[in-house]
Amino acid sequence: MAKITINGVEQAVEDGLYLIEAARRCGVDIPHYCYHPGLPVEGNCRMCSVEVEGIPKLQTACTTIVQDGMVVITDSEKVVGERSDVMEFLLRNHPIDCPICDQAGECGLQDYYMEHGLHDSRITVSEKVKKKKRVDLGPNVVLDSERCILCTRCVRFCKDVVGTEELVIKNRSNHAEITTFPGKGLVNPYALNTVDICPVGALTSRKFRFQCRVWYMKNATSICPGCERGCNIWIDHHENKIQRLRPRLNPDVNNYWMCDEGRLDFHWINDDRVLRAEGPDGLMRPDEADRAVLALLSNPGDVLIVASPRSTNESLFALKRFVEVALPGAALTGGSFRPTGDDDGFLRLPDKNPNSRGMREIGIAGDLENRLNGSAGVVLVFENDLLGDRPDLESVLAGKKVVAFTSNRTATARGADLVVPVTTYAELNGSFTNHAGLRQEFRSAIRPPGDSRSVFDVVKSLSGLLGKELGWESETALTKEMTDVITGWGVRVEEETELHAG
């Protein structure tokens, strides 16, 4: 521990911390651009300059390591003046095109100008250096060179976090610009993280660009369902549509990052949803659908229930109880035929289902293939696109009555005799258990469209019709029982509340 004095208050901080981080932990925010807690330090923007007693010149807090007895001042006239001057330099060539800039509303330049700048410009628009406004760095990232403040966060991300080194600064001084190496593009599978960490509007996401102003969006904490890693994310939504996904800090899982594949995979939640239950005679109300399902369950021994490692722990737990209590004799199996990927050594893992481990720990057997080839005549498929992942199963399912509980019009839904809409993870409170056994909770972001119900509500209603009780008043009671009976699931992951970490 080192004792440091910040603005006259003595505090004990960990040894070896950078001053900027030590100050943050003591509740003093030092403005910064180039410093990012997930990247190696560089100290090029000078925004974090502070006074350290005994050193005549101002020191950059992001490169200074705390020492015992250090006396630091972050709010003296000298420091405040320096910040305002740095802001003036940074804005020297800035186009100030906030009205058409996607970053407006969450921009480091806007925020710090209001806090630390507030100077009048001494530069006329015609004196500013003009640069390219739209450069396609790669398939997903667009650069506006005029807005860049050359903090090199993006360069360092590609070099030190992913190791692909696509980006570099070319030219000097007023003409310096971010670019890719000749013949190379920003193609690494994590490229969109550069858009998050760019403190200004220089890097924008090709897909999100111009789609929604940031001040319209509301945020919900969630977990990416893209693979077993279970990266912590923010769901940013507006008018009940998901607009974008962003990584949420969790040092144990994904740190500040997420992969582009997971980030861009949300359009299925907004589009092409099943809104009403559908049977051979057309659309049905939820209660009609439940009775139609019930009609197929008269002989439990003939029923196979297929769970999915894409469902939440809560849904799977409810499903298992449903089979035990209301349909004894029916077979319950789980699994997925989703094509696997590679372990790329950073975040992405081979299993593209978010909850395979949760399904195993709840005790749902993974003998899907054998069971499907068995004799069961009625198959209830919960959130599992069997036919989409394995079209050859069509012949196996052909002779069976298939009920698809699904959020989307999947191949399985198209081939099913009965389709019942259910919610996606974005419309549920629930949890996934990742590959390492960490049960991570998430909150519903948007309202379920149409007649979609959670799996819990569906099986509750079905068991009610069968005259059986699942034994839980609410989902909270279910969660409580589940976390009590499964070892290790009681641990709650602390919620990250900071919206724009770094």
Partner 1 sequence: MMIGVKKIGKPMDIKERSYLFEIARGMMTSIRHFIRNVLNQGAMPTLQYPEEKRVLPERFRGRHRLMQREDGTPRCVACFCCQTACPADCISIEATERDDEGEKVAARFDINILRCVFCGLCVEACPCDAIRMDTGMYELADTNRENLIYDLNTLLRH
**Rounded least distance, CB 64 to ligand FES, Å:** 9
Told to check if 307 binds ligand FES by CB under 6 A, we report no
| Least spacing, CB of residue 21 vs ligand SF4, in Å | 20
Per partner kind, with CB cut-offs from 5 to 8 A, the member of ligand SF4, partner 1, ligand FES, none near residue 213 is partner 1
Minimum distance from CB of 101 to ligand SF4 (Å)?
12
What binding mask, one character per residue, do residues 265-304 give for ligand FES by CB under 6 A, x or -? ----------------------------------------
SS3 418: strand
- The piece of 32-40, 160-168, 389-397, 416-424 that touches ligand FES (CB under 6 A) is 32-40
185 binds, among ligand SF4, ligand FES, partner 1, none (CB under 5 to 8 A by kind): none
User: Which one of partner 1, ligand FES, ligand SF4, none is in contact with 133 (Cβ closer than 5 to 8 A by kind)?
Assistant: partner 1
Residues making contact with partner 1 (CB under 8 A): 99-100, 132-134, 142, 144, 209-211, 213, 215-216
Beta partners for residue 3, in sequence order: 12
Q: Do 230 and 432 touch, CB atoms closer than 8 A? A: yes
Spell out a b/e string for 89-113, using b for 16 or more CB atoms within 10 Å of the CB, else e. ebbebbbeeeeebbbbebbbbbebb
Say how far apart CA 297 and CA 258 lie, in whole Å: 43
* Residue 215 interaction partner, one of ligand FES, partner 1, ligand SF4, none, beta carbon < 5-8 Å per kind: partner 1
Q: Min. distance of Cβ 201 from partner 1 in angstroms?
A: 12
378-382 and 59-60 strand pairing: unpaired
Count the neighbouring beta carbons within 10 Å of the beta carbon of residue 403: 26
Shortest separation between residue 110's beta carbon and ligand FES, angstroms: 17
CA angle 348, 354, 356 (to 5 degrees): 110
CA dihedral 202, 265, 352, 184 (to 10 degrees): -40
* Single-letter amino acid code for the residue at 248: R
- Is 60 among the residues that bind ligand FES (CB under 6 A)? yes
Would you say 65 or 129 has its CB closer to partner 1? 129
Q: Name the nearest CA neighbour of 221 among 242, 205, 235, 203.
A: 235
What's the full length of the chain, in residues?
Answer: 502
Judge whether 60 and 221 are in contact, CB under 8 Å.
Answer: no
Distance, CA of 473 to CA of 233 (rounded, Å): 30
Q: Binding residues for ligand SF4, per CB under 6 A?
A: 148-154, 178, 198, 200, 202-203
Name which of 116 and 153 has its Cβ closer to ligand SF4: 153
CA atoms within 13 A on the CB side of 221: 18
34 binds ligand FES (CB under 6 A): yes
Strand 135-136 and strand 232-238: the pairing is unpaired
Nearer to partner 1, 131 or 156 (CB): 131
Contacting residues toward ligand FES, per CB under 6 A: 32-35, 43-48, 60, 62
